[in-house]
Structure 1
């Protein structure tokens, strides 16, 4: 692997967007346009994370070769960010897409919440570099408990985005490499 100075990333700013399931990744990441919608203000401290479950290795052998092959269990990944906008749309991302708006304007917390199903796009900007993570189908829902621990910082809604297989795709999400020109994937 060659040293590529243009492939480094220092996040200057970024945005998280949603659109209907199957919406293709925009060709212009700095101006995604409709139907992409920004989710709102997000944490400056906890910008983004990727966690995974599964993927454990099992060594399979024979009498002649005790470690003939390795088999891996299925792996699922969760993309995480903290939303700091407590409007109706933000509350529905956290509490469930089926959270009803009650007659007095409050949002009801459903007994059986349903994650929001949508296309998801995270865009991070570093000067001239633009780094994106795109899922044509994802489920968004709370990823951790809501805590409001002090009066010095903004409260946040920790969200998890679970990329899902879409149609016949053999992938659940795509990322744009830095330091080269890449055509956006087709959802």
Structure 2
């Protein structure tokens, strides 16, 4: 692999968006059109983290070779960010898509919450470069308990995004590469072609 200075990333700004499940990645990542909608203000300090579960290795052997093959269990990943907008759409992302808006305008916290299922897009901007994470289907729900720590910073709703394969896709989310060389033809992350 050659050195590629154009493939480095320093995030200057970004945005998180949702759309109905199956919405394709927009052609213009910097100005996505409807039905893509921004989720709102998010944390400047904790931009994004990706954690995974599963993927454990099991060694399978034969009588002649105790380490003949390795098999890996399925892996699921969660993208986490902190939403800092306590409006009705933000509260429903955190408390569940079935959180009712009550007659007095308050949001009820359901006893059996249902995650929001949608397409998800995160776009990060680094000067002339932009980097995106796209999931045609994902579940969004709280990723941690709510805690108000001080009076000096914005409070936040910690959200987790679990990308899932859509239809016959063999992938759950796609990432746009940075610094492609001219002889590489990018594939469409919406179709994998």
Band of TM-score, shorter chain: over 0.9
Q: What displacement does 1:185 show?
A: 1.7
TM-score after normalising by structure 1? 0.98
1:43-66, Cα deviation, whole Å (9 max, x unpaired): 000000100000000111011000
Matched, 1:185 2:189: yes
Answer yes or no: is the 8 Å Cα contact 1:26–1:184 preserved in 2.
no
Aligned counterpart, 1:19: 19
What are structure 1's unaligned runs of at least 5 residues? none
Distance 1:164 1:142, change over 3 A: same
For residues 111 and 118 of structure 2, the distance between their equivalents in structure 1, rounded to whole angstroms, comes to: 22
TM-score after normalising by structure 2? 0.95
Matched, 1:138 2:135: no
Aligned counterpart, 1:113: 113
Answer yes or no: is the 8 Å Cα contact 1:27–1:184 preserved in 2.
no
Question: Which aligned pairs between 1:19-98 and structure 2 lie closer than 5 A?
Answer: 19-98=19-98
Aligned counterpart, 1:125: 125
Q: What displacement does 1:184 show?
A: 3.5
State the secondary structure of the residue aligned to 1:65. coil
State the secondary structure of the residue aligned to 1:179. coil
1:148-186, Cα deviation, whole Å (9 max, x unpaired): 010010000000000011011100000000002735422
